[in-house]
Amino acid sequence: MSDDTIKRASFGFDADFGDLSSVKPTGIAPKPKPTSRPKTVKPKAVTKAPRKSKPKPAVRQAQDALADRLAKSHGFTSREAGNAPAAPVLMKKRRRVHHDEPVDQLSIRGPVRVLNNFIDYCETHKLSYWEGLERLVENAE
């Protein structure tokens, strides 16, 4: 293919930036090549002392106290290490249902009215959704 048959893509800037072949990049200087090997320096063993926190100014302490009181009055609890609950909160164990046969998953889209009726049916009869579906299918036969 010759250059005459290749069509350039146009992004709507042709009038502003038609031919950029005369533009030369500026401001980018090439890295100078090193003339000699850099000296190797052994790092010094540095031990840092723990930082001592500066005491907060009285105004900042008052602002923090006000913010803590407001947060507590709205039901928020602090997540700072010193304010952690004394006893760990234990999660309830979930009941696991072990099936004697293979299990699959089904997702159903439908009118809210119908799905709410099905959910109410399962809750009324204390059935899981699959048990409710099984009972409805058996009764339909």
| Residue labelled with tokens 């930082």 | 51
Task: Supply the range of the domain harboring residue 135.
Answer: 110-141
Residue 55 covered by a domain: no
Total structural domains in the chain? 1
Residue 70 covered by a domain: no
Give the whole-angstrom CA distance, residue 135 versus residue 141.
10
Residue 126 covered by a domain: yes
Residue 138 covered by a domain: yes
Average pLDDT, the chain: 78
Length of the chain: 141
Q: What is the pLDDT of residue 7?
A: 66
- Find, among 118, 94, 117, the residue nearest to 106 by Cα: 118
Residue 135 covered by a domain: yes
Q: What is the pLDDT of residue 109?
A: 92
Query: Out of 43-52, 99-108, 120-129, which region has the weakest mean confidence (pLDDT)?
Result: 43-52
Residue 122 covered by a domain: yes
